[in-house]
Structure 1
Amino acid sequence: MAAVVEVVEEAAAEDSSLERLPETSTNGESGTQVCDNPRLTWYEIPTKTAIHMPAKFGGASFKDGPGGTMVVRVERSGKVLREVSAGGEVEVSGIVAKAKVSISTKIGTEVGITVGHEYHKNVTAGKYGHLQYGSWGYSVKWAKYETSADRCGKKLLKSGTAKLPTSEVGWKYWETGS
């Protein structure tokens, strides 16, 4: 059993060392040297931001006021789906797999919304309350790399952005003057 743990740790160290490789020119060469890095393709997620991804079906977004109490309930089921920048749809499985490892195991390509989630909220006098049901997910920047031809650096293949839902769903509340 200890050997399995050592192999996993070794693989993780190898992956992070590849991320630290310098980026090469467009032809994939960084000079006349030859290195012994493995030939691999991998994804990196350099930035992430926590976001609320609203459910995009009727009965998941509400506004009430001015003042008073809001009582809302999800009365339809639906899904919150991932959103990936143009050209990245074919990369979804790799992006999600990397995000599950580096950000949260709760990330997926979609999350189901079920009927029955109810919320009560007092709205400040003179203000309008807004409630929106959805997934607490992440907006990420991603990049797909491969080892350069001389295996001394990494070559960028594709990059983009993605919004990825998690299994954590709930209400987002805010107030406005109108």
Structure 2
Amino acid sequence: MSRAKRLGAIAASALVSATALCAVGAAPASASCASDVVVAVSGKYVFLWDGVTWWHDGPGGTITGQVQQTRTISSTISYGADITMSDLISSVKASISGSATNSVATTLGHTYTHAIPSNAYGNLKYGAWGYNVTWKKEYRHSNCTITVLGQGTGTVPTVATGWYYYSTSS
């Protein structure tokens, strides 16, 4: 075989091989996905006040607060929610914080003192640290399309309780 014919055969073989490689990497004509229901959450870390324990004092000096009654701070979810509280808590634990909980009780007798600037009023509130969350529940079809089943907001406390201090001008 002549040198020109051998080079031509090699080039033709390389072209056939490259075409076969491209065909192997090509996307199938119809995609397939696993059907599943997914709850996605995002959140912002915030203080969740117990709704009762609050002191206001000043101007200046010190402010001292003491928890005199045990209160429970519970998770909340937007009205008409299409998910259960258990789904929300599980999603927050998996995606945001493992210390998320459905509810937490405040600690009876917990005392805290804070200095107040001379020209300000001090405020003390007691509660839990947790998350303001937004959630979305989706159904992912086998053809890879997504249907939103519901979305909303909620609050989820963590096991951390404590004081929140802030100053005001009056």
TM-score, L = length of structure 2 = 0.78
Aligned equivalents of 1:151, 1:144: Cα separation in 2:
18
- For 2:121, give the aligned amino acid: Y
Superposition deviation, residue 90 in structure 1: 4.7
Is the contact between residue 60 and residue 116 of structure 2 (CA under 8 Å) also seen in structure 1?
yes
Determine which structure has the larger strand proportion and give its number: 2
Structure 1 runs of 4+ with >3 Å offset: none
- For 1:120, give the aligned amino acid: T
Number of residue-to-residue matches in the alignment: 142
Any gaps of 5 or more consecutive residues in structure 1?
A: 1-32
Aligned equivalents of 1:151, 1:116: Cα separation in 2:
57
Report which of the two structures shows the higher radius of gyration computed on alpha carbons.
2
**Residue 129 (1) aligns with residue 122 (2):** yes
**Residue 146 (1) aligns with residue 139 (2):** yes
Query: Which residue of 148, 158, 165 corresponds with 2:157?
Result: 165
Is the contact between residue 107 and residue 161 of structure 2 (CA under 8 Å) also seen in structure 1?
no
Q: CA-to-partner distance for each residue in 1:36-77, whole Å, 9 max, x for gaps?
A: 3222111001x31111000123xx111111111111100100
Aligned equivalents of 1:142, 1:111: Cα separation in 2:
21
CA RMSD of aligned residues (A): 1.5
User: Against the structure 1 CA distance between its residues 160 and 153, is the aligned structure 2 distance closer, same or farther, given a 3 Å change threshold?
Assistant: same
User: Against the structure 1 CA distance between its residues 151 and 91, is the aligned structure 2 distance closer, same or farther, given a 3 Å change threshold?
Assistant: farther
Aligned equivalents of 2:64, 2:168: Cα separation in 1:
17
Q: Sequence identity, in percent?
A: 29
Residue aligning to 1:62: 55
Aligned equivalents of 2:133, 2:76: Cα separation in 1:
10
Alignment of 1:32-43 (within 5 A): 34-43=30-39
Is the contact between residue 34 and residue 152 of structure 1 (CA under 8 Å) also seen in structure 2?
no
Aligned equivalents of 2:114, 2:88: Cα separation in 1:
37
Alignment of 1:72-151 (within 5 A): 72-88=65-81, 90-148=83-141, 150-151=142-143
Residue aligning to 1:52: 47
SS at match of 2:84: helix
Residue aligning to 1:177: 169
Residue aligning to 1:9: none
- For 1:132, give the aligned amino acid: K
Alignment of 1:22-33 (within 5 A): none
Superposition deviation, residue 34 in structure 1: 4.7
Aligned equivalents of 2:63, 2:122: Cα separation in 1:
8
Aligned equivalents of 1:89, 1:111: Cα separation in 2:
24
